[in-house]
Amino acid sequence: MARPGSAHQTAAAERTRERRVHCTSLSIGATRGTRRHDPEALPSGSDVTSPPSQTGRMRWVPALKLGSLRSCSAAVRSLCSTPLPGARFRCFPLEQRGLLRLQGPEAGPFLQGLITNDAQYLRPEGRRALYAHLLNLQGRTLYDVILYRLHTRLEEEPDILLECDVSALEPLQKHLKVYKIRKKVTIAPCLHLSLWAVLPLEQPEDAACSFTSCPDGALILTPDPRAVVMGWRMVTDKNKNPLEVVEYSQLGYDKDYHRHRYHQGIPEGVKDLPPGIALPLESNLAYMNGICFSKGCYLGQELTARTHHTGVIRKRLVPVRFSSVVPISEGAEVLTQAGKSAGRYRAGQEDIGLALLRLVYVKEELHLKIAGNAQINLSASIPEWWPKASNN
């Protein structure tokens, strides 16, 4: 393998750049000369630009806010292994996530009755990606999903990718078919595509390059709809090299991606959001742009709407860090120094993870008991990307 900076690698990179024609570009943080959509048409926090390219799928490219991206890149640099010279982005393979494909004229109305967010945001002039939960009848989370819009024009048949935990692909497909009844929509696994998370390593003002892709490069390349600190989501064919899609990038390790999202307090998958147990608002669904309180009825809406209108959420998932690396049982009780129950550990990796804690105890000294009646100290924190004006 050629070393970074070698003549061989330089020549290979030059050949790759020469093959990149008719590309769609995403200039990081660029806001000049953009055309804004009606703010009522999109969820809060979305900022959309429309590049002039008419080729490929990447027509609507949401811009990222500079301050939030700066904190994202700083966190990635501190938590990930040493970047290669010249690298400005890291591509993480999301092998623990899978895709279903929903196609048909009634795909939108079908999803509207099942997801917490408003499926109308995925109309062609709207967003490219949407975060949501699917709930059970009791209003508890079954699956966390990200939906991606493939169709680009109103006259095209709705074509939507649905990302979920790979272990939930089969049960989620069965769940959808239970409510499909006679609706004109097909549901099938999408095994020929790969999912990637793309995170910046440089400060946005220093990352002078843009995202580029060939017509056959990325099927989807869009900001993660949950939070700006999570960078971008990318969907490609399985045989596509992501380093040919994202310039100045290198491959990242799966564990580094999970450390980053745990550090930011972002739950993902069935371990962080156990089906039938997790409550959507305690899981920060509203903070992650995953719910619409003004849409019509959907499965499990009643409890969620009632909790929202009371305005009181006493417990939330927050990032925690342990004083040492030891095996910790999922669901272990977290205690205050006075021995009061502060909440429960949910899931994590090594010395970092998520816990469902009472907010009044977040700033206190906390611990939990481990094997042999020993205890381990932990500290909790409030993520910087949370709304500053929020009282709970």
Which residues, other chains included, contact 190 with Cβ-Cβ below 8 Å and sequence gap of 6+? 99, 100, 101, 161
What is the per-residue pLDDT for 110?
97
Domain 18-312 is in which class?
alpha beta
Ordered per-residue pLDDT tens for the chain, 392 residues = 444 444 444 444 454 444 443 333 333 333 333 333 333 333 333 333 333 333 333 333 334 444 444 555 555 544 455 667 778 899 999 999 999 999 999 999 999 999 999 999 999 888 999 999 999 999 999 999 999 999 988 889 999 999 999 999 999 999 999 999 999 999 999 999 999 999 998 654 333 344 544 335 899 999 999 999 999 999 999 999 999 888 888 999 999 999 999 999 999 999 999 999 999 999 999 999 999 999 989 999 999 999 998 888 999 999 999 999 988 999 999 999 999 999 999 999 999 999 999 999 999 999 998 877 889 999 999 999 999 865 45
CA angle 59/97/331 to nearest 5° reads 130
- How many helices (H) and strands (E) are present in the chain, helices listed first? 6, 20
What is the per-residue pLDDT for 389?
66
**Where along the chain do its domains lie?**
18-312, 314-380
| Closest to 220 in 3D by CA, of 241, 195, 257 | 195
Give the dihedral of Cα atoms 187, 188, 193, 197; nearest 10 deg.
50
Which residues, other chains included, contact 386 with Cβ-Cβ below 8 Å and sequence gap of 6+? 265, 284, 287
Q: Decide which of 3.40.50.1370, 2.40.30.110, 3.40.50.2300, 3.40.50.2000 is the CATH code for 314-380.
A: 2.40.30.110
What is the per-residue pLDDT for 136?
98
